Structure 1
Amino acid sequence: MARLLTAHANSGACNAGIAAGAALGGLILAFGDVRGTFLAGGLLSVGACVVLLAGAHRPERENGT
């Protein structure tokens, strides 16, 4: 049961990310230009990589959780 809920939560987070990216791109296009969307996408990608790497280098807790 927990695996099913985790799969649904992961799918929901993916869909929310896609919707947020589309909304952000639409706002940038409305108030800026096409180059702004590439800049925003690149900055968001770098930010996501930083978060991913920071989580990978986080020390484990002593109690194993």
Structure 2
Amino acid sequence: MSELGLSLRQEKDRAEFFVKLLSIFKDKTRELPEFFGECPQEEEAVLIREINFGQDWRL
């Protein structure tokens, strides 16, 4: 983006920055890696976790 003279630091450039960024992202991800075909399109997971409060709250 710096090669294009765009920076998030400049408020006036932000809208154009994200337009260009999205364009570049779509271009770079157009062809997905082969291993993506081995992954399910949807997956469901359930997490079971004890909730602790106060002194027992682990960070």
| TM-score bucket of the superposed structures, by smaller chain | 0.3 to 0.5
TM-score with structure 2 setting the length: 0.35
Q: Which has the larger radius of gyration?
A: 2
TM-score w.r.t. length of structure 1: 0.33
Which structure: greater helix fraction? Answer: 1
Q: Which has the higher contact order (CA 8 A, sep 6+)?
A: 2
